[in-house]
Structure 1
Amino acid sequence: MEILKDKSFDEQLLNNDLLLVDFWAEWCGPCKMIAPILEEIQREKEGVLQIGKLDVDENMETARRYEVMSIPTLILFKKGEPVLRMVGARSKSALLREIEAHL
């Protein structure tokens, strides 16, 4: 998983056809719960889906731009455009069901 920053966010969107961004924070319990699930999904979908993590406390500009009001928020970008938004922790099967609809 890539660590995303405000400065390089737009570049990452352009460099990845399908990018799932995990908007999270260190103090967020549910964010920590889904981290291993996202790592599993990244391994299983390698070459098809890239997953990046953006710490909302350190990268407020991007979080504000995409109106992230609560975390974890996962936004799936397809060719640079947001196509799916999921708020809150979810099971692996629920995440995959939502993501695979856009593959």
Structure 2
Amino acid sequence: MKLYDIAHSRTGDKGNTSTISLIPYKEADFALIKKYVTDEAVAKWFAPLGPIKVTRYEFFKVPALNFVIENALGGGVTHSLNIDRHGKSYSSALLEMAIPDK
């Protein structure tokens, strides 16, 4: 199944770093997301961006994950020649990732 089937996402940026939140629609799906959407899996998914570093943070009061992706924006908003300089489409790209449904 694709992540968009069980979660939604938001993206932010600061300099050359992108942040992506991943929030399940149902709290029951959070364990599945935590199991398969690791920092290693996200780094592999976004590998075409070049040499990046991904750190995953888990929120404990709400069922959500936050991924901080360093070196993701082609030098940062004011330096990048990318069409999507803020990386706003990265949330949609992450939601295209497929994970097992068990």
Q: TM-score range by the shorter chain?
A: 0.3 to 0.5
Q: TM-score, normalised by structure 1?
A: 0.34
Q: TM-score, normalised by structure 2?
A: 0.34
Q: Considering only CA atoms, is the larger Rg found in Structure 1 or Structure 2?
A: 2
